[in-house]
């Protein structure tokens, strides 16, 4: 990719924006937009390529979104090898934009230790990844808009404190549940589970609905394990999850890994998990 990465030595003078102009920023997923909004404030205008409630596996960006990407000064990329949306729809556009600054999420291209990182691209569900990515976004905005660098640093500090508070609240909620497992249809929560010492047990395998034989097996496991809640995600089929839930008398609830309000969403997820797993 030809886009300039932070720290790649691109001359700041070529990247500066005129006073009063909003910096056009594109991001792949809403939680990245949360970081940019918090750091950039009214200096940025953000285009999210994958809206909430849609599946990155099947969503295709609109022509309007691709035009917005072509005008961006900064692109925040997931960069994980299993996040194929970017390779399929965005990388070709970015290859023709040599002056765009590209920030890759920590844990994306390089990955974190652990099998979850090798297969699970939802790196933004890990607070450490969000913290390190926020730092890189602040650096990039200061590179593009050096006159506001001090403001970006101040906003970054407030954001890092907010992420720390969120992490502490989630840890407090989930502390009694360490080593417990929860059942999900789509395996989006590997990084989150590892961070908080939980285990996700996915129904979907390799992006596919379970076969009839696999469904029978999963129903028996759910019955023996006294599974009370199966978590699904908007934008993905929940047919298999509902079959299992009906057979074992479990409830189906939605968890959203793509919500823009990252702190509120992570606390809500922790609250829902605690309620679902309490007493197991």
Residue 240 in contact with residue 210, Cβ under 8 Å? yes
CB under 8 A, 24+ apart: contacts of 46-52: 47/72, 48/260, 49/85, 49/89, 49/90, 50/85, 50/258, 52/234, 52/256, 52/258, 52/259, 52/260
**In this structure, which CATH number among 3.30.530.20, 3.40.50.1980, 3.40.1280.10, 3.20.20.70 belongs to the domain 177-277?**
3.40.50.1980
How is domain 4-170 classified at the CATH fold level? Rossmann fold (3.40.50)
Q: Is residue 28 scored above 70 in pLDDT? A: yes
266, 271, 272, 275: CA torsion to nearest 10: 160
* Sheet containing strand 229-232, strands side by side: 199-202, 181-184, 229-232, 251-254
Q: Where are the domains of the chain?
A: 4-170, 177-277
pLDDT in tens, 92-136: 999 999 889 999 997 644 444 344 446 889 999 999 999 999 999
Distance of CA 131 to the CA centre of its chain: 13
Domains 4-170 and 177-277 share a fold: yes
The least confident of 5-9, 52-56, 81-85, 103-107 is: 5-9
Q: Is residue 269 scored above 90 in pLDDT? A: yes
pLDDT in tens, 141-198: 999 999 999 999 999 999 999 999 999 999 999 999 888 889 998 889 999 999 999 9
The pTM of the full predicted model, rounded to 2 decimals, is 0.86
């Amino acid at each position: 990719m030809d886009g300039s990465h932070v720290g790649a030595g691109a001359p700041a003078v070529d990247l500066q924006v005129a006073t009063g102009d909003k910096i056009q920023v594109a991001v792949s997923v809403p939680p990245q937009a949360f970081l940019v909004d918090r750091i950039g404030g009214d200096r940025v205008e953000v285009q999210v390529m994958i809206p909430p409630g849609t599946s990155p596996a099947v969503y295709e960006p609109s022509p309007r979104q691709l035009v917005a990407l072509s005008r961006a000064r900064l692109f925040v990329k997931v960069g994980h090898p299993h996040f194929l949306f970017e390779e399929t729809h965005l990388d070709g556009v970015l290859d023709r934009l040599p002056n765009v600054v590209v920030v890759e999420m920590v844990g994306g291209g390089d990955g974190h230790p652990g099998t979850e990182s090798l297969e699970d691209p939802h790196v933004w569900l890990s607070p450490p990844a969000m913290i390190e990515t926020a730092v890189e976004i602040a650096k990039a905005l200061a590179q593009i808009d050096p006159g506001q660098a001090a403001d970006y640093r101040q906003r970054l500090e407030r954001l890092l404190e907010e992420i720390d508070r969120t992490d502490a609240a989630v840890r407090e909620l989930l502390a009694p549940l360490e080593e417990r497992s929860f059942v999900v249809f789509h395996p989006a929560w590997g990084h989150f589970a590892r961070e908080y010492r939980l285990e996700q047990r996915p129904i979907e395998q390799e992006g596919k609905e379970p076969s009839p034989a696999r469904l029978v097996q999963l129903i028996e496991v759910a019955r023996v394990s006294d599974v009370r809640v199966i978590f699904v995600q908007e934008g993905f089929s929940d047919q298999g999850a509902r079959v299992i839930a009906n057979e074992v008398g479990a409830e189906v609830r939605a968890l959203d890994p793509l919500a823009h309000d990252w702190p509120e969403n992570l606390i809500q997820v922790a609250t829902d998990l605690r309620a679902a797993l309490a007493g197991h």
